[in-house]
Structure formats: C-alpha cells, structure tokens
Structure 1
C-alpha cells in the first residue's frame, strides 16, 4: 500500500520564513503545502511542491448558510476556480458560516442551494469544493457545519462529485469522536483530511489522545488518493513537530 501524501498547512508555521517552510517540506518528505498566501505560490512550485488547497471564499463565519451571501460567494468561488486550474490546485475549501439563530434545516437548505450554484463550474474545472467540518465547542462557536451527519446531508442533496467534505480529524474528535468508524462509513463524502492532536490542536505526539497510524490506515483502506494536511499549532520547535507528524502518518 502506498504511503498517504502529506501536506503542511501554511498558517500554522507562519513564524518560519516561506523558504524555510518549503525547504523543510521537501527535506522531510511532504508532497504539498496548503492554505498558502498567493504571493508564495511561485516559490512553492519552484521547490517542486504541490498546493493541496486554498480558501474558496471568506470569511468562514459568514458563509453559505445565508442566502444573502450567495452572489458574493459564487463570484469568489468562480474566480478562485480559475486560479486553482491555472496552478493545479485540487481543492477549494468552503464554509457553512455561523448559525446566528438559524435552524439546522434552514441552514442546510441554504448551504445546498449555495453549493448548487457553483457545482457545475467546479465539475468543469475538475476542482473539488470541500465543505469544512469545524468544531463549535472550542474553536469556532456557533459554526453550523459542526457534525459529520449534517455535512453528509449537504453533499447528498447537492449531488455533485465535486462537492465533498473536508473531514478535519481534530475538529470532529472534539465534537463527536468515533473517527475511524466515521471514516469507514462516510468516506465517499470526504474529499480532504486535516489533522492535529487532541486536546489542544498541537503536535501529533504522546501528549494527545488520537492514534494517527490507525486513523491513516483507515483512510488508506478507503482507497483515498488525496492529501492529508498537517494542521497543528506547534508548542516547540516546529520542524521537529513536522517530522514527528510526518513519521506518525507515513504508513
């Protein structure tokens, strides 16, 4: 079985120089970086690295679950799809937004409607829109797409092969746990994965509760051929944390 392709989520390591991040990525064995400021895309490519994802629209708190945002978000996504095609970026990350008192049913219907507006463009571009699952318990209070089942319903109702979920292992461990079984049961809806240690969103080491080798094996068993994005906030030397995370997931 081939090792899973790993990427570095840029924002977690912004205290390092762009050159240092790229050089370290290549040295350790990472295939890609993601969520990279556009000004550094040429540098990333010069190092032979792929760009696994970037944000399809902003901000995450004010997203697809509000119909009043749809025209704005459609324009942002369509413009970013063009960039993704030009730079060979396979995923755009999209967001439900916060509830702000909205019911689950209304938010779901609105999110589906918003994604249906851009699904055809994503299909034509060959780029996947990945709706990110985030925890509302610790990091993103009131965020609506905070449970796998809600996100799966969105994908089912949109009905496009280019609209999937970003299954963030850290966030979903915080919200619901049962990570491996969730992957086994729902992998057809998962287009991208992110990591971090729980609790704290820090290194993948002995201080946290998730056993990433088993999680990665579960992902591999689904036939997934995309990237696993390391998205932890380092508490010590960031390069040693990146090496440790890579080794833990290099199965």
Structure 2
C-alpha cells in the first residue's frame, strides 16, 4: 500500500505548528514532512514527533532569503559559503530529528541569459555534488526536485528530464530525485512513462491536484488512483508527501485518502 506523509507546511494550517503533528497522527498519518523547520523549537518538535510516533521523512535545506524572493542557493554562483553553511544547519536538524531525506533547492536565475545559465549550471553541479557527498557522510539522502515555472517563475530546475540529466552528470550514489506529480504534470506530463523508467532514482514523491494544487482527488486531470496503484505495483518503498492546498480545510478534504487508511473516520 502506498505510504503517505502529511506536509505540515501546507496541511492543518488553521492550527499552531506543533498542533499539526497531533492532527496528522489523529487522522492516520504515520509520517510528516516540513518545508523549512528552522524557525521551530527543535526539541519541542522532536518531542511532539516522538509523542505521536510520527517519522519526519523530508525537509528542505535553507533557501536563502525567502522574503526577498530567493528559492534556493545551489545554482547561484558566488553564494557557495552561504550554501554550505545552510547545508550544515540542515544536516544537524536531520540528524537530530532522524530525518533521512533533504531536498536542496536550486534557486531563481535569469533563464533568458545563456551566460547566466551556463554559470548557474556549473555552480549547480558543483554544489549538488558537494551536498550529496556531505549527506552520505551524515546518513542523509540528498534530493533535487523540478519545480514548474508557473508556480515559481525563474526556477532553475523545472523539468524532470533535466533533473535526470543532473543525476547522470553528478553520478553520485547519494543523489536522488524528488518527484512531485503536480510539478511534473505542469511541465512535462507523461507521468506513467517517467515513473516506470526512473523509479529507481526516486527517493520521495509528492502529490497535489492539477489544476489548482488542491487535493489529489477526482476533481482534476490526474488519475491518482491509477498512479498510486502503479507506484505500489512497482514496489516503491518510499513516502508520498501530501503537499497541497486544501480547498476548504484539511480534514474535509481527506475523503480521497480513506482508501489508504487516512481520513476523519480513522480509528487509532
């Protein structure tokens, strides 16, 4: 059966952050993920995870100055020292909270300037190779994720095929793909073919409905039951993160997940 994790940055957002941990456990989730946990009291977060027997399965490395529009540093030449400092912080959090997957964001660049793109690509390969090696030494898998340019204009890595090219060029055993079916459908499509050809590269997945980035249910163009059964049939052992924006609220929107043991009527 597919295993789903609750993204606490997008679900249960009507509650204080630490209360989202108990809310996720209460509807049947066994794991959670969070985009950027660094504003939290780490010990309190860890205690909440332990109390409700939840695993933290994914977080993101620091993205730079988010309020200023930065969305990662890996593809930004000249920011290597800040990038490495952020990685050290992220790995410390992962080790303290027993999180074994870290998503490293690429960043925003001028996609219309060939010289900028060339420099960004070179910096990206170097930084991602460094991150993969450091993660291996710390027992944390390093992930890269293509993110569509509609939701995040100017993002350096947008297409799954481009991410595969990066994996091939870096060629490090601790570098993996984070495959978000929402972003993939927005940019490239062909979800079945890509999954069947690249499942061995994927260490984490995420889902949201297209269009709108709402619940992965029947009110969108992706046939999620088919994909979930396909993923399960191929023996995918990782987690599928629920990183979507509920149309009304999280609990009401979990009807799609009842088949998988998650929802308002879950019995602990």
Q: Alpha carbons of 1:72 and 1:20: their partners in 2 closer, same or farther (altered >3 Å)?
A: closer
Residue 47 of structure 2 is matched in structure 1 by 42
What SS is found at the alignment partner of 1:173? Answer: helix
Instruction: Say which structure is richer in helix.
Output: 1
Instruction: Give a deviation string over 1:223-245, Cα, whole Å, max 9, x none.
Output: 3211110011011131121x324
Please tell me whether residue 121 in structure 1 is matched to residue 123 in structure 2.
Answer: no
What SS is found at the alignment partner of 2:10? Answer: helix
Matches within 5 A, 1:80-99: 80-99=90-109
- Aligned mates of 1:248, 1:108 — CA distance in 2: 42
CA RMSD of aligned residues (A): 2.1
Unmatched runs of 5 consecutive residues or more in structure 1: none
Residue 28 of structure 2 is matched in structure 1 by 29
The answer to whether the 8 A contact 2:62-2:72 is kept is no
Question: Which of residues 247, 253, 258 in structure 2 aligns to 1:247?
Answer: 258
Residue 152 of structure 1 is matched in structure 2 by 164
Question: Which of residues 129, 142, 148 in structure 1 aligns to 2:154?
Answer: 142
The answer to whether the 8 A contact 1:24-1:239 is kept is no
Please tell me whether residue 4 in structure 1 is matched to residue 15 in structure 2.
Answer: no
The answer to whether the 8 A contact 1:89-1:127 is kept is yes
What SS is found at the alignment partner of 2:204? Answer: strand
- Aligned mates of 1:247, 1:185 — CA distance in 2: 29
The answer to whether the 8 A contact 2:61-2:104 is kept is yes
Unmatched runs of 5 consecutive residues or more in structure 2: 65-69, 262-268
The alignment's TM-score, normalised by the length of structure 2, stands at 0.84
Residue 200 of structure 2 is matched in structure 1 by 188
Deviates more, 1:112-121 or 1:101-110: 101-110
